[in-house]
Structure 1
């Protein structure tokens, strides 16, 4: 009996907690809407402005044609907290504008409704908050109440004059905006092109690494292999910078903008330079001189290209807040930056790929879903920084995102999120895995099956991200969906092809200099391998050892690139005139 009584008491307590939670949720329920303003004197064309309203006071019509166009009464000199604040003749069939403060929303709207108002707009100089109340107050009030920003109120009267009419409405939100298609194509295209370019360039550099060329044509940057220590340092830096941006956004945002201008101009030059080098004209060089860098006599067309890339970056930096067109430059520079990064940064093994993706997976989920419970405002640190704090004095936005304006008539386009965003990290992190898959494809001659599968998995993960965004109507950590899709697909494919061992360790790649530990075989005897506990005995010339095609091996060190076959030809499919290879032990590869 005691246990039953305790269980009943616990159930009652849970019920009360649930009721309290539902009541709290009801108190802060809010939606974005629009107030359509026109001039009574037939001036400029009507315009929509953002409002934040609580549908529990009164619902707004979804269709503008069903909303009443009422006269707006400027009563912002009053806070409307007592009957003495009402005009002598009331607000008959009007929508009054009153100042926020000194009393509750309920007191304001009750006085407005009692004096004949058909709606109430509360002007706020601070951030817009949900106009809340309780259940009894909601049942008593029958007119809509909404918050309008002070800046929008000034714009209304400056544009349309003092004699204006307004209609309150709230269009239905579409599940997905059409701009998601543009973001999808840009993201998947960048990942596919960057992964393909990085893999092809890396293999080509392996072939030509031992050729010394210090001439002016050799301007490519060396790729950087990422180590586990570098991954840990990188993640710590990301966390630190994100927290610093959250607390010191207005000071650090200009630092990020400057870094983006420099890095994106470099990336744009790196992407366009191979195309310019193929042009059949303007190959003249700078005259002999002793200036830094110019003493190498670079081609004039490369200097012009560098000036063009710097000019594009500077133009974006100056006009970055022009919402009509600056986003096009930002996306172009951002894509170039991502391609340059994918070409320069290299993950040497699938183990390194897994470590990087899993650590950033945890990082992304933590800063989107966990930090709202740790901040005073209850907002996600990641979303707050990516979209820009609402109380920012600079109103600047971080440029490290692809952004496309909303293409439908939505209140979100005016209020909360006028652009749809995708961070560079959601492109670069999976893109490094795609690049690794392409390099592995070339080395083991798998007809780019890993590259294609990982790219398709990235596209599917991005579609899942968009679906989650539409269902939850809140910012999503894209890596939450991209990391499992790409990692599981790559791992499952390697397991199915029985190449998981070499795929995990990257042992399918030929080693960097020295190219091979094997000495060239004499014509009258077998090769003498370097001491290696895992190496198999060398085959007798003319005899093929079972399992020879299991693990490809590199060519002898003395061979020149012109004499030896490319490394991607190593294996059982190599032409018969290729030098003898060391046979692998019988059985499938690890």
Structure 2
């Protein structure tokens, strides 16, 4: 019990420290290294780009505002929903032959300065400019040292390559694409980050205390549990901890011998849960199933893992380091998209 109280106290202290660290606006920030002037001192802010194709709303795109130009509203109901038009030429480095008035202009990155693109779109009557990056990351659009007297009255936003390609495909197919730009305010304390931290630390604490549940189980079982681990092992252990007699009924199965009916029922439920998650993994609520599966797996791994000496621990840390390097830097070369970027 003393060990449990110590862990809970440490958990509370770390939570307080996390809240203090997160008490800052992470959606907007400044760049001290960028040239400053009266017309080029905006903070970089994350921008939500909502889009509609023939009146049907599509998946929103996340962009980054420039250090120059007009500011965006913080609420969607205060922003204008305008048609999207590609500049001609696409780089928007010269006067566009496309009609840009009362629309959101789109241009490709490159061939001239960001401020030059913005001035062309501004002079053409566009209500805003989206610069499509040639990569998936978002580049900070800053002014040059010579841009001291800019007169740009429209918002300028950079969007990732995939977002620009999606808009281009819709327009190439003849669809009427409309865009709406706004920059939602970031809360002082991001509760989503606190929730993620609670899940991570809670998983470790739960795995550390899990032996108390397992120690209470009877070891004189007359049957063998099914071999699957992870979610199956966690649920069976919890049920047997609450109701020890629930696993008394057994069933003879070919190749498996005598197994618990409880174990079979839990296994079927876990398979159904995993199949449901796999079939709906792109839904907005899919993160719940993914986190449940991940937490159960990590509890099982932490129960099974044994670190007899520092060599084993160092080897595991090196493997984890290589694992991170692969998914962050190498996976985009294989899958043509970084799996570390949330859609």
Q: Which TM bucket (shorter chain)?
A: 0.5 to 0.7
- 1:169 offset after TM fit, Å? 2.5
CA distance in 1, matches of 2:331, 2:43: 21
- Give runs of aligned pairs for residues 212-361 of structure 1, distance below 5 A: 216-217=222-223, 266-274=229-237, 275=239, 278=244, 280=246, 283-286=249-252, 291=255, 294=256, 296-316=257-277, 318-319=278-279, 321-346=281-306
- 1:298 offset after TM fit, Å? 2.4
The Cα RMSD (Å) is: 4.8
Are residue 114 (structure 1) and residue 123 (structure 2) matched? Answer: yes
CA distance in 2, matches of 1:384, 1:24: 36
Alpha carbons 2:224, 2:258 under 8 Å: kept: no
**Which structure shows the higher strand fraction?**
2
Are residue 197 (structure 1) and residue 160 (structure 2) matched? Answer: no
CA distance in 1, matches of 2:172, 2:245: 54
- Give runs of aligned pairs for residues 346-385 of structure 1, distance below 5 A: 346=306, 382=324, 385=327
Alpha carbons 2:247, 2:261 under 8 Å: kept: no
Alpha carbons 2:75, 2:183 under 8 Å: kept: yes
CA distance in 1, matches of 2:312, 2:184: 39
1:153 aligns with one of 164, 167, 172: 167
Alpha carbons 1:29, 1:132 under 8 Å: kept: no
Q: Any idea what the Cα deviations from partners look like across 1:282-328, whole Å, max 9, x if unmatched?
A: 824216x6x3xx2x422344334334434433544x33741423222
- 1:270 offset after TM fit, Å? 1.4
Are residue 130 (structure 1) and residue 140 (structure 2) matched? Answer: yes
Are residue 175 (structure 1) and residue 188 (structure 2) matched? Answer: yes
Alpha carbons 2:131, 2:158 under 8 Å: kept: yes
Larger radius of gyration: 1
CA distance in 1, matches of 2:60, 2:267: 43
The residue number in structure 1 matching 2:335 is 393
Instruction: Classify 1:139/1:57 alpha carbon distance in 2 versus 1 (closer, same or farther; 3 Å).
Output: farther
- Give runs of aligned pairs for residues 564-583 of structure 1, distance below 5 A: none
The residue number in structure 2 matching 1:162 is 176
The residue number in structure 2 matching 1:581 is none
Alpha carbons 1:60, 1:168 under 8 Å: kept: yes
Q: Any idea what the Cα deviations from partners look like across 1:98-122, whole Å, max 9, x if unmatched?
A: 3344433233222222333332223
The residue number in structure 2 matching 1:551 is none
Instruction: Classify 1:53/1:382 alpha carbon distance in 2 versus 1 (closer, same or farther; 3 Å).
Output: farther
1:34 aligns with one of 10, 31, 48: 48
- 1:268 offset after TM fit, Å? 1.6
CA distance in 2, matches of 1:202, 1:283: 21
CA distance in 2, matches of 1:76, 1:123: 14
CA distance in 2, matches of 1:389, 1:175: 34
DSSP 3-state at the match of 1:130: coil
Alpha carbons 2:100, 2:121 under 8 Å: kept: yes
Alpha carbons 1:30, 1:54 under 8 Å: kept: yes
Are residue 51 (structure 1) and residue 57 (structure 2) matched? Answer: no
Gap regions ≥5 residues in structure 2? 1-31
CA distance in 2, matches of 1:93, 1:282: 73
**Which structure shows the higher helix fraction?**
1
Instruction: Classify 1:302/1:28 alpha carbon distance in 2 versus 1 (closer, same or farther; 3 Å).
Output: same
Query: TM-score, with normalisation over the residues of structure 1?
Result: 0.41
Alpha carbons 1:194, 1:339 under 8 Å: kept: yes
CA distance in 2, matches of 1:46, 1:310: 32
Instruction: Classify 1:176/1:388 alpha carbon distance in 2 versus 1 (closer, same or farther; 3 Å).
Output: farther
Gap regions ≥5 residues in structure 1? 1-20, 222-264, 372-380, 399-415, 419-590
Instruction: Classify 1:124/1:216 alpha carbon distance in 2 versus 1 (closer, same or farther; 3 Å).
Output: same
CA distance in 2, matches of 1:302, 1:98: 59
CA distance in 2, matches of 1:326, 1:386: 22
Which sits farther off after the overlay, 333-342 or 182-191? 182-191
CA distance in 1, matches of 2:328, 2:182: 29
The residue number in structure 2 matching 1:62 is 74
CA distance in 1, matches of 2:62, 2:148: 22
Alpha carbons 2:87, 2:97 under 8 Å: kept: no
- 1:198 offset after TM fit, Å? 1.9
- Give runs of aligned pairs for residues 511-530 of structure 1, distance below 5 A: none
Instruction: Classify 1:280/1:50 alpha carbon distance in 2 versus 1 (closer, same or farther; 3 Å).
Output: closer
CA distance in 2, matches of 1:178, 1:160: 41
